[in-house]
Structure 1
């Protein structure tokens, strides 16, 4: 951007066209001395301000200049601001580039806002899930009652039949959290119980039966480790625990309506109060 006086602007435009004052006098019908006074910025030579403005406007229009800009400079007694060839285009390009940069900076906040919103939604979702699970877990009344089972085993000798029955040994103590019988001890509650079998003889046969229900089950360290589904049409499955296995875990997809027998002894499952559960079976010799 450059600054020139009114006279310099007029003289530059006139010389650029190759005109003389005589040419301008013929075009504007204004005496050359007044036109020359404008180029010298000698506005006092023309007594009346209105006449100055009238002559200035006619001079500017003859040279195809912006008369309003020159009149404004005359009224404010200031220099004329203008752009040289190509400078105005450069200025426009810089303004556009500046606008794009500001717009790009403004848009750069949008991904951050979206990220914060997504993070907030994820946190709210996780809090909701945790709260729901804690609420469901609190609604189940825990129990520490242990159960003992009296089992009777019958063995036959090769020389004849010999029957022996085990006698019940039960302890009723409020300070005890579990009770044991001679062969099987059940402890735990909720979704997991522990069954401990004593004096076992390998291989140990395990039978699982689903009565009027459908349940997926699996038993570790056996052929059922991959899982099998029991249905009313196929309600029972049997497998064996080989020697060397001292502990196995039975997973029940559905607890209600399922019966479990280990080594011919039926396990008491009433301590499993959850919809799904697991039974850890320990073997002692």
Structure 2
């Protein structure tokens, strides 16, 4: 048993006895999606106060020792928690202080050797710097030229043309308003009714895009109808379990089989996001707002999740 997880041990024992998940569910009264979570070691999907009870019932059903199974479960959880811990190494504080003092002392000694020559060099080179600056200032004064006035003239002309254009536009607009003010009262009523009759209605078509891979997808539904309907159907698989969040569905979810091959979930009108959890994706079809959702990128062997954003 030490080479396998709890889920693998339970699943192997069930397969050896030729039992299905529905047989185990009928004998133990454990929901099928919780049985599937046990076999996939997805204990976070099961309430904490029910995990050990489910392991005991499942073990007794497949002729495994329940006490040994529960002890092995505790060891598996402790082992996973111990692997997550990372030791942190600390440096001895006294050694760090001594190292900093040595570095500081070396820096002071090196600086003492370099301060004096550098200072003398600055003093001796100051007259040369002043003379060089004076020569550059004289060359700048000799080569100075007054800036050209052409840019100012061009900008003035452009501004004048803009003013003329604006004035002409305003005058033309005022003249047109005076000519049409008298005629407008005769056709205002007929024009408004004609506009109502010929108003163009925009037809918004819903679009569904999907991104992601592995065991998680993100689907974006734009221009969705109200309410949005999600349909999960079997298209080759014998059975599957699924759950839709923010839909009012019971936390136990829905199990599809030959008796119930399809199920429709209607989301509340205020829903903007929901998550679809699926135990099996192969042979299962998901339809959102009348459009088939592409699940070909879902390749994970565990539970698959589809996050649906509605706009």
TM-score normalized by the length of structure 1: 0.37
Q: Which has the higher helix share?
A: 2
TM-score normalized by the length of structure 2: 0.34
Higher gyration radius (CA)? 1
